[in-house]
Amino acid sequence: MQHNQEEIDKINWFHFYDKETFGFATQGKKGIPNKEEARLWGFKPEIFAGKSVLDIGAWDGYYSFFAEKMGAKQVLATDYFCWGGPGWGTKKGFDLAHRILDSKVESKEIDVPDISPETVGIYDVVMFLGVLYHMPNPLFGLQLATNVTRELLIIDTTYEKLDESKALFELHPKRLRNDRTNYWSPNIKGMNDVLTEIMGFRKVTIKPWTDGRIICFAYK
């Protein structure tokens, strides 16, 4: 669909849309372009093709529409904090991208604590990207995401380089304190043990992808 760059530039974007993937570009506020982020995470068509996908905390919707581009059969984007809550973001970017892309991605304004099979359904693939460390109770947040996951839960979160002989979560690490919405950050063992021993995932792969962040693939 035709788009007006002037209209795009009026929006205060968080995500970096790129012309190669979507046919239009935005100047986002993320620390890294989303295209590069997706490459580092290892996001490939086989993860999404033919799958139902839930994007929790979608904001401008880059990964919701990315999943659709990769062949997902159904995508639901959810958010509250950045769409109608206390965050500085809005849903304007998501709505404009949806219109430009003539997308079939569905959206639902719902806060993370209200996510459940009854409110949103159960999905083959659930994305929980950049959300966990904003949860005052991270285990509760992970349980909610797990409850709506049929096959694969993907988590991007901050992590701490703590003693890996112990499963640890650190409250308000020094590097997170500049944002009042940041709470807990795990070490790698903490993340792995919670996903396997508490949430019951049969296989978990975790890799650091940039300084201070990890990407987790948890398979049921």
Answer for the pair 125, 52: CB distance below 8 angstroms, yes or no: yes
- The predicted-structure confidence for 7-66, as pLDDT tens digits, reads as follows 999 999 999 999 999 999 999 999 999 999 999 999 999 999 999 999 999 999 999 999
pLDDT at 1 over 70: no
- Three-state secondary-structure class, residue 136: coil
pLDDT of residue 63: 98
pTM over 0.95: yes
Cβ atoms 199, 143 nearer than 8 A: yes
d(CA 146, CA 220): 9
CA distance 74 to 209: 28
| Cα–Cα distance for residue pair 206/220, rounded to 1 Å | 15
What pLDDT digit, counting tens, does each position of 80-130 carry? Answer: 999 999 989 999 999 999 999 999 999 999 999 999 999 999 999 999 999
All domains of the chain, ordered by start, with CATH?
42-219 (3.40.50.150)
Phi-psi region of 203 (alpha: psi -120 to 50; beta: other; left: phi over 0): beta
Whole-number pLDDT of residue 82: 96
- What's the average model confidence in pLDDT over 196-202? 98
